[in-house]
Structure 1
Amino acid sequence: MAGVRSLQWLNLTRHGESTGNLAYQAVHGTDAEEAGITERDADIPLTDTGRAQAATLGRRLAALPAAERPTHVVASPYLRALDTAKIALAQTPYAGDLTLRVDERLRDREQGALQGLTARGIERRFPEEAARLKQLGKFYYRPPGGESWADLALRLRSFYRDLEADAPGGRVLVVTHDAIIVMTRYLVEDLTEKDIMEIERQPIANASLTRWRGDGSELQAVCYNDASHLSGIGAPTP
């Protein structure tokens, strides 16, 4: 993908477990129409497990060889991602050499009128939207007031173009959300709609690590959704 070719390393991680993740887990498989989340999406905090996951991620980052350590860190402005970045960096010996930047283009996908609803809730309250989703498919469907997965690609193309200009030849850590990680893979690896919707079926683990290494002309995949450092500290959550 044009916009990241000059990077030495591109590392992406999902935020640690949040109270929102637990809320959706609690109603999964029930007849509930809402997840019961009271905060706006931007203000959903980490759980204690999420904070522990972030610290463990930080220790993995600290163990990276010097030639692979991040030179630039950018995070979503949402609380759960920003706190994950701060907690993780605090575990590294090089945190004082880094400036944590925030970029709103890394925020989670906007759900619009469907925010906080379960699949059952959407079917009951917005049956016409459930039908439209089925017709258009997940990749191109845009909820009222929200974003499609294709919309994420548009803002991420802009983000990565700016990133290459700001950090040519850099080693970048991006702390963000599952949908952003999935769509970054779509862009970097030039995947199709079919490819990425199949990949998306596997949940991105909280505080997992996805990495690409640059060879001067393109990025090569190193690992995807790697949570080996989190053994025993929480399972992947939707």
Structure 2
Amino acid sequence: MAELATLWIIRHGESTANVAATEAESNGADLIGLTHRDADVPLSPTGEEQARATGRWLAGLPADRRPDVAVVSPYLRAVSTAELALHGTGVPVSRDERLRDRELGILDGLTGHGVRRRFPDEAERRARLGKFYYRPPGGESWTDVALRLRTLLGDLRRDHAGQRVLLFGHDALVFLLRYLVEGLTEPELMALTREHVIANCSITHWSADSEDRLMPGGFNEVGHLRRQGAQPTREDEVHAEPV
């Protein structure tokens, strides 16, 4: 099967839940205090500007480097990011539920402190099983998300061979695409998650080499935001999932 020419993934812009989660974590609260279900969380004003800045970066790419197609998580924060970033480009866009964020089940809406206080047995089980394989009741493990991404990659390679494909999604997906595309091991992937926080509207990408293999081109890049006059979210303000 022929390879994609280029694969990008852009994490959504800063959301109102990111802001609320950072505040809740810093205050030691149990609950993030969301007013929307996860699928309906909107962008913050900062996130909207990050998405527009990403659009200005895309518009500045040479024609032979722009995406041929975009595939987007159906969650509102990703859809809004894609709409703002791709406005006026004419890039065909489709939504795919396999790009949705990881589902946290009974732990949804809790901070790390809240998980440890309200579900100490789950916190202990997560510590024993490890982040990669732990599945919260009613939720997904990282391996569950990897399985749906495997099927998506297979479909993209079949339907868009030789094309430049742009994905809009969520932080766990960025890590897991590296795991799948680059053939990382569990320890290598977990080391990445300890060393990096995926920034809002950051860009991670791969390009096909002469042997038709996708090779890493950049990871968690935010320079385009600064160049386009937007403020990247500081690492200490980028909320990562509590489990």
- Tell me if both proteins adopt one fold, taking TM over 0.5 as the criterion: yes
Q: 1:140 aligned to 2:130? A: no
1:233 CA drift (Å)? 1.1
Q: 1:195-232 CA distances to partner (integer Å, 9 max, x unpaired)?
A: 11111121111011111011252111111000002225
Query: Residue 228 of structure 1 corresponds to which residue in structure 2?
Result: 223
Contact 2:70 2:94 in 1 (8 A): yes
1:54 maps to a residue whose letter is: A
Query: Residue 204 of structure 2 corresponds to which residue in structure 1?
Result: 210
Pairing 1:1-238 to 2, within 5 Å after superposition: 6-90=3-87, 95-96=89-90, 98-201=91-194, 202-215=196-209, 216-231=211-226, 233-236=231-234, 237-238=238-239
Q: 1:130-178 CA distances to partner (integer Å, 9 max, x unpaired)?
A: 1100100111100000011111110000011111111111100000001
1:30 CA drift (Å)? 2.5
Task: Provide the TM-score with structure 2 as the length reference.
Answer: 0.92
Alignment partner of 2:46: what SS? helix
Contact 2:14 2:233 in 1 (8 A): no
- Structure 1's unaligned 5+ residue stretches are none
1:233 maps to a residue whose letter is: Q
Alignment partner of 2:77: what SS? helix
Contact 2:71 2:168 in 1 (8 A): yes
Alignment partner of 1:203: what SS? coil
Aligned mates of 2:144, 2:28 — CA distance in 1: 31
Aligned mates of 2:222, 2:140 — CA distance in 1: 28
| Aligned residue pair count | 231
Moved over 3 A (4+): none
Aligned mates of 1:125, 1:184 — CA distance in 2: 32
Alignment partner of 2:27: what SS? coil
Aligned mates of 2:13, 2:198 — CA distance in 1: 11
Aligned mates of 1:26, 1:212 — CA distance in 2: 34
Aligned mates of 1:67, 1:13 — CA distance in 2: 19
- Structure 2's unaligned 5+ residue stretches are none
Task: Provide the TM-score with structure 1 as the length reference.
Answer: 0.94
Aligned mates of 2:220, 2:232 — CA distance in 1: 14
1:31 CA drift (Å)? 2.5
2:222 maps to a residue whose letter is: A
1:123 CA drift (Å)? 1.2
RMSD: 1.3
Aligned mates of 2:3, 2:54 — CA distance in 1: 25
